[in-house]
Amino acid sequence: MSRRVWVLLLVAFAVGSVATTVYLLRRPPPASLANLETPSLRVGTQLQDITGRNEKADVVRVQLRGTDRPTMLYIVTPACSWCTRNRRNFAEIVRQRSGEYHIEFISLSEGGFSGYLHQLRPDWNDEHVTTLTSLPARTKAEMLLGPTPQTIIIDRDGKVTHNWVGAYTSNTLIAVENLFLLQMPGLVEDPPRR
């Protein structure tokens, strides 16, 4: 083949590659990939009371319907670095709003729960905060609990009014501050790497 044919083939290949890339980038993802985002509890969902164990291993039942004030579920896992980084924000809500909300501090993992509470409790030091772990698998599935931290606000009738997954950053920070009418201290900085 002549050199001219090789050049034309290379140009055709390059144009085809660019056209294919543009096509793939512009088309919507297949239906199977369109909703890979983690499913989350929807606002308006009616919740039932939940049970679990406190740090002393006593069975605790948390009433979510027919309460005298709204409920805040703050869900964490002891190994979650974002939960630890968000702890001052949670402590600020407890400090300023625990009389206006039933506040439930829930861990999805039993391992290290007691030590985690011992480490964090001085930040929020409020005996009115209920601590809970050992939620039944069915409860976790029904409430679509998974990524942590997660904040769920429930009205007095047991309906979800707000649901934020993740630490309080950017838009979530603004939304949480607006709901509670307070200014958050922000995230705890990551420790320096060695």
Question: Do residues 160 and 43 touch, judged by C-beta distance below 8 A?
Answer: yes
Q: Please give the model's pTM, rounded to 2 decimal places.
A: 0.78
In the numeric block, the tokens 């005996």 are attached to: 127
Return the pLDDT at 31.
45
In the beta sheet, which residues pair with residue 71?
102, 154
* 50-180 homologous superfamily: Glutaredoxin (3.40.30.10)
> How would you write the pLDDT of the chain (194 residues) with one tens digit per residue?
678 877 777 777 777 666 666 555 555 444 444 444 567 899 999 999 999 998 888 999 999 999 999 999 999 999 999 999 999 999 999 999 988 999 999 999 988 888 888 888 888 877 779 999 999 999 999 999 999 999 999 999 999 999 999 999 998 999 999 999 999 999 988 766 66
Domain boundaries, the chain: 3-34, 50-180
Model pLDDT, residue 18: 63
Residue 172 φ then ψ, to 5° = -65, -40
Closest by CA to 107, choosing from 149, 137, 139, is 149
